[in-house]
């Protein structure tokens, strides 16, 4: 029994180290130039590929203290209410609007989104792309929230 315990502990320690390394790769704190040439800090998710109905496109999330953007390389269709996100079954949160044709903007429920991201494991983003005539369906991409809490804390310390 004692021998088995000695073998199990190092394996658990290695697993913890590997999980920690993966977690830091999911979210990155970045300093960008904002309005009036002032820099500000944002938090970005890893980049994911999803199909937009015609081709593969890239998507990622960008968060600051006021909003969440889901940025894509394809035009987002703003004409449907089923564009939004869901964290671990907490319930669907619809986007507020499309910004610059390729950005789904979430502002009105940003505090709720941040709280769900802190406790969640995955965030599923559901998008519709334009032009898709006739309208077909939504396309989804899932982002890992592992490491979000630590990265968010670091973004708050970023000056």
Domains of the chain: 2-157 (2.60.40.1880)
Cα 158 to Cα 150: distance, rounded to the nearest angstrom: 13
pLDDT at 36: 77
CA distances from 156 to 25, 65, 91 (A): 18, 9, 26
pLDDT at 130: 84
Instruction: List Cβ neighbours of 46 (8 Å cut-off, separation of 6 or more).
Output: 25, 26, 27, 60, 143, 144
For residue range 101-114, list pLDDT tens digits in order: 999 999 999 999 99
Cα 45 to Cα 133: distance, rounded to the nearest angstrom: 30
pLDDT at 10: 42
Cα 26 to Cα 45: distance, rounded to the nearest angstrom: 6
**Whole-number percent of the chain with pLDDT over 90:** 67
Give the residue-averaged pLDDT of 70-91: 94
For residue range 32-71, list pLDDT tens digits in order: 887 778 888 999 999 999 999 889 999 999 999 899 999 9
Give the residue-averaged pLDDT of 12-21: 33
Residue 7 in this model has a pLDDT that exceeds 80: no
């Amino acid at each position: 029994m004692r021998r088995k315990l000695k073998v199990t502990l190092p394996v658990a320690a290695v697993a913890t180290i590997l999980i920690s390394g993966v977690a830091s790769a999911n979210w990155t704190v970045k300093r960008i130039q904002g309005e009036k040439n002032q820099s500000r800090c944002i938090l970005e998710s890893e980049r994911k590929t999803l199909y937009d109905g015609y081709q593969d496109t890239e998507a990622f999330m960008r968060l600051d203290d006021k909003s969440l953007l889901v940025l894509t390389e394809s035009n987002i269709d703003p004409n449907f209410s089923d564009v939004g996100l869901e964290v671990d079954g907490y319930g669907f949160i619809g986007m507020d609007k499309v910004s610059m044709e390729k950005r789904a903007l979430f502002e009105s429920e940003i505090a709720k989104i941040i709280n769900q991201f802190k406790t969640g494991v995955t965030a599923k983003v559901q998008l519709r792309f334009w032009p898709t005539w006739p309208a077909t369906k939504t396309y989804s991409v899932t982002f890992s929230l592992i490491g979000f809490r630590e990265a968010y804390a670091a973004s708050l310390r970023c000056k």
